Amino acid sequence: MAAMPKTETSKSKGGWGAVLALTLCVSTLISSEFMPVSLLTPIASDLGVTEGQAGQAIAVSGIFAVLTSLGISSATRGIDRRRVLLAYERAEREKDPARRQALLTFVVIGGGPTGVELAGALAEISRQSLGRDFRHFDPSSARVILIEAGPAILTTFPEMLREAARRDLERLGVDVRLGKPVIRVMDGRVEMAGEAIDAATVLWAAGVAASPIGASLGVPMDRVGRVIVQPDLTVPGHPEIFVIGDLASFTEPDGKPVPGVAQGAIQMGRHAARNIRQALDGKPYDPFKYRDLGNLATIGRASAIADFKWLRLTGWIAWVVWLFVHIMNLIGFRNRLVVLVQWAWSYITYQRAIRLITDRPSGRETAA
């Protein structure tokens, strides 16, 4: 969010004493012992539960919310990796078969790019990275279940690519369940209509509420807490304030919303910066126009899908394109080289370093 000094007219030239701040605003990651229903309400509708039902039908206790992939694209570090690995360690010590099966069941809620990447990475971890690390059970017996309330995963992609992604997930051993709205998530249990799954690890990838800083502006907001911005990315009634990135709700003239992805945030940031410079020169703001550069999603090792409108790719070639796009968007040759070497090593060694359990245990983990 960026604020312009309010002068006689906000679009007139500002003085040297003006302080201009341009901050990329991103959604908050909700990862707590209890997710308040007030924050869950907008998410509930994405799962097929109406806002009126959310307070009654959805209960979340001990849910593990993650928004980053466990695959090569991230270093698989921190609390997300820790909880996943500790589930395997506890399964090694568990004598009760039913309890062990629950520890080895990983449920991912949400069939968007995040959920698909998480499910694929978890399946590869159990079948490749941890394949020979335990004596009392076979890690490949772990169940990875991807739950989506809608009729398909990756709904922003064409049907051909969606089906290719689903086949790749099933090839990895992921149990893809479509048309299954989640009505309750408790500690160790996920409930859907007519079905319940015992799972020690539940990963929420169905979306989160936007940063609460947007509410402090006292301006119109959408149902997930994003600020509804003007065509020039300013706040209604406050042309000196810009809101960009995941905190901004921007609808194009054709009625399509700008997706909450990196390319949208980058384009918004550049446009807001240009408008700020124009304001300093006494020029009017220009409206923002989103340019869709394509859509990418990775499913697993050498598996991805890519949609560039004029070209659609699947499998290994799409995965190579995905790697190239991510590397080229890094700043500086050194960063690109380092990341390329790290990814290459992870690919060759099947991410053996993923087995390291790092960070301090939380109180809940200690108690367990």
Q: Class assignment of domain 37-209?
A: alpha beta
Question: Of the residues 117, 124, 148, 240, which is catalytic?
Answer: 117
pLDDT tens readout for residues 108-161 = 999 999 899 999 999 988 888 787 778 888 888 999 999 999 999 999 899 999
Residue 363 confidence class, pLDDT cut points 50, 70, 90: low
Q: What are phi and psi of 132, to 5 degrees?
A: -125, 30
Sheet holding 201-204, edge to edge: 64-65, 201-204, 105-109, 143-148, 174-178
* Annotation marks residue 117 as catalytic: yes
341, pLDDT greater than 60 = yes
User: Which residues partner with 147 through β-bridges?
Assistant: 109, 177
- pLDDT at residue 254 in the model: 87
Q: Encoding tokens for residue 257?
A: 């919303």
What is the residue-averaged pLDDT of the chain?
A: 76
365 vs 289 pLDDT, higher one? 289
pTM to 2 decimals?
0.72
**132 three-class SS:** coil
Instruction: Name, in order, each residue with C-beta under 8 angstroms of 150's C-beta and a sequence gap of 6 or more.
Output: 48, 111, 178, 179
Q: Do domains 2-8+222-280 and 37-209 have the same CATH topology?
A: yes
- pLDDT at residue 360 in the model: 61
Provide the residue ranges of all domains of the chain, joining segments of one domain with +. 2-8+222-280, 37-209, 295-349
- pLDDT at residue 115 in the model: 92
Q: Class assignment of domain 2-8+222-280?
A: alpha beta
Q: Which of 28-37, 181-190, 313-322, 359-368 has the lowest mean pLDDT?
A: 28-37
Residue 187 confidence class, pLDDT cut points 50, 70, 90: confident
The mean per-residue pLDDT over the stretch 243-266 comes to: 89
Q: Which of 29-38, 100-109, 138-147 has the lowest mean pLDDT?
A: 29-38
12, pLDDT greater than 70 = no
